[in-house]
Structures are given as structure tokens and as C-alpha cells.
Amino acid sequence: MKIETIAIHAGNHTDESTKAVIQPIVMSTTFERAADGNYPSGYIYSRSANPNRTQLENVLAKLENGADAAAFSSGNAAGMTVFQSLRPGTHIIGPDDMYHGLRNQVKNLFAGILEFDFIDVNDDTVLQNHIKPNTGLIWLETPSNPLLKVTDIRKVVAIARQHNIKVAVDNTFATPICQQPLALGADLVMHSSTKYFGGHSDLMGGALITAEKSEWWAKIRDIQGYGGAIPSPMDCYYITRSIKTLPYRIKGHVHNAQLLAGYLETHPKIESVMYPGLLSHPQYETAKSQMSAFGGMLSFCVKGGSDEAKKVVNKLKLFTQATSLGGVETLIEHRASVEGPDTKTPHNLLRVSVGLEHIDDLIEDIEQALN
């Protein structure tokens, strides 16, 4: 089936008892045991498994063309589960512009437990030089947040395979509609499903999808069950529902982002625009080779420094100044302010989650703010 069909049908089933065409929300925390001691439904306790979570995980796995998926209460919970699954002393390589929430998590919660280096993963020599005998995981984020850097997944996987190292890819910005890392050789994909999967800025969630049901995956599943950082049945139901429109929402986000990036690139008050769909993007050819579309996220730098960038943000009327991304409304933020004093982000950079408003209205708003 094509991905539009998968998004609608892989997380849905007709309820057997009522014949309702949409599955019910099963709020029960526990399930009846039969006289012989077995559980006829296959469910025991909702921390371990729940019918709504099963449906969500099924559609997530199929969207990424993976062997299995695990749903979590947030993207950070999903990422933490990956790090918890590694042996103490394992060395992780991550990108130098890794999402600050997961970067800080590794630095602060896993200090003394795991080793880690944050490097330019796009430089083959630098990557090779940082591989150690205890390196167990290379973490990628492509396109990256907020610099929209694109990493050649195939190339990194080829290097990792030479050293028996696993590769995980944060695919939140791209979504499986624009990029499928497992098909490019990655072992694991992570999403903050709060973003495009939820799509309406009103749900929290995270997800991991695996290429194969390995021993490592079994440990990740154990952590999910024992740790209990899981989404509620209600959240699972609503994320599954939102995913049904994901392919068509992403088409709208991409359309608007491409046009907005093109407008900004020619504006005299803009220093630079970061969007993988622009020919000027330094990794445009890489993006073109591994992405079917370029996503709905972009960043741009305003001439005149931090103060000028903040003036632009504060003059906008339609763009909402807020963190997060992936909703139907356009969001903008001065990213360095969010990331704190150790940020690597330029202080004149504004990150935009391009929404589904009419592109003419978005351009008119940014134009009046810049002028």
C-alpha cells in the first residue's frame, strides 16, 4: 500500500463487538484472566500493553517500514530509553548541533554512565577519528534542529558497519513522509510524535521504530514496559487519528516552506536561509538523494544581529512566537534564547515551523515585520 493508505488503515480496525468503524478508546488499566490462567485478549496490564497503543505502534512501524515500534510519553522519553538500553561505559557519537533537550539529557543524566562526543558528523575524517573500541551508537538528526544541516545517512551507516556500531536517526523534522532512514540502512528511528504526528500542538508523545526485532530491541521494549513512560490510551487514540491526515498535511507544510524560503532568500534584510530544498543549501544534493520532500521547517538569520532578529519576531502578527513545531499554525522563535548560554545557534537566527495558512498571508506578515 502507498503511504497515504497506510496512514489511514494501519492504525484502524472495526470494533468486533459493536461494528463501529473506528476503534474505541480502551481506558481499562487491567484485563480479565481466564480460568486456565491465560489472558484471552493478549492484554494483562496497560503499562505493558493497551489496545490503543498497539494500534498506534502498528501504524508507526508501517509508516517507517520497520519491524516494530514502541510508543512513549514524549520524544525525550523515547530518546532516554535508547540511552538506558546501552551498556554502562558505551561511547555515543552525536552531532554537534544535536537537539538541545536530548544533548542536555545525555550530558546531565548519563555523565559517568556513558561516554559521549558531539562532533561534525558530516566530516568523514572527524567521524572516523572519534570512533573508539567502546563506541556503540552514532546518533544522527537530519535535517538538524535548528540549523537544518543534512547528514548523508548511507555514508554514516557504511562507516558504522565497519565497526559494528548501531545508527539511530531522529527523523522528527522530516517525518516518514519525507525521509525513511531504515530504508537507508539505519537501525533505529526516533520521533517526537508531539510534533508532526500529533500535528495540532495539543498532544505529547514519542516513538522508536526498529529495523529488526533484535536483542537490543527486546531490551528497549523491556525498558518501555518496566519504566512506564508511555502515552495514555486517549493520547494513543488521538495521535493515531492525527496520523491519518499526516501525508496531506506534510504536503501543505512542504509547499509553504519552499515558497517562504524562496521569498526570504531574496530579501535584502536576510543574511542567510537554511532550508534543504534551496539550491543554495550546502547539502542540497544529499537532501535530494535521500529525501522525497524537504520538510516544513526552516531557519533564517537576520542582518543586524540578535536585536534585529528579536524586533522581527515581536512585530509578527500571524506567526506565533512559541517553541515546538509541526502544528497547523506557523510558529517562530529566537532559538538561541530557548537553548540557553551554551547554545551553538547564531543569535540572529529565527526558526520557523511553517504552518498550513495561505502562503500569501504568511509572506505578507513576514514582509511587514522585516520592513
199 CB burial (10 A radius; 0-12, 13-18, 19+)? buried
% the chain with pLDDT above 90:
95
Predicted confidence at residue 363, as pLDDT, reads 98
User: Catalytic site residue 123?
Assistant: no
Q: What is the mean pLDDT of the chain?
A: 96
Catalytic residue among 43, 62, 99, 237: 99
Beta-bridge partners for 207:
71, 191
The mean pLDDT of 123-151, rounded to a whole number, is 97
* Per-residue pLDDT tens over the stretch 93-104: 999 999 999 999
* Per-residue pLDDT tens over the stretch 282-299: 999 999 999 999 999 999
Residue 238: closest CA among 55, 50, 9, 63: 55
The answer to whether the CB of 300 falls within 8 A of the CB of 273 is: yes
* pLDDT at 248 > cutoff 90: yes
Collapsing DSSP to helix, strand or coil, 168 comes out as: strand
Predicted confidence at residue 17, as pLDDT, reads 85
| Helix 75-84 × helix 215-227 angle, to 10° | 120
Predicted confidence at residue 109, as pLDDT, reads 97
- Taking phi first (over 0 means left), then psi (-120 to 50 degrees means alpha), and beta for anything else, what does residue 349 get? beta
Catalytic residue among 170, 187, 235, 365: 170
Predicted confidence at residue 15, as pLDDT, reads 86
The mean pLDDT of 275-287, rounded to a whole number, is 98
Residue 259: closest CA among 314, 309, 296: 296
Cβ neighbours of 261 (radius 10 Å): 24
* Per-residue pLDDT tens over the stretch 174-211: 999 999 999 999 999 999 999 999 999 999 999 999 99
* pLDDT at 340 > cutoff 90: no
- How many Å from the N-terminal Cα to the C-terminal Cα in the chain? 48
User: Catalytic site residue 87?
Assistant: no
Predicted confidence at residue 344, as pLDDT, reads 80
The mean pLDDT of 300-313, rounded to a whole number, is 96
* Per-residue pLDDT tens over the stretch 9-24: 999 888 888 999 999 9
* pLDDT at 342 > cutoff 80: no
* Per-residue pLDDT tens over the stretch 112-123: 999 999 999 999
Confidence of residue 338 (pLDDT cuts 50, 70, 90): confident
User: Catalytic site residue 170?
Assistant: yes
Catalytic residue among 166, 195, 221, 351: 195
User: Catalytic site residue 263?
Assistant: no
The mean pLDDT of 334-339, rounded to a whole number, is 90
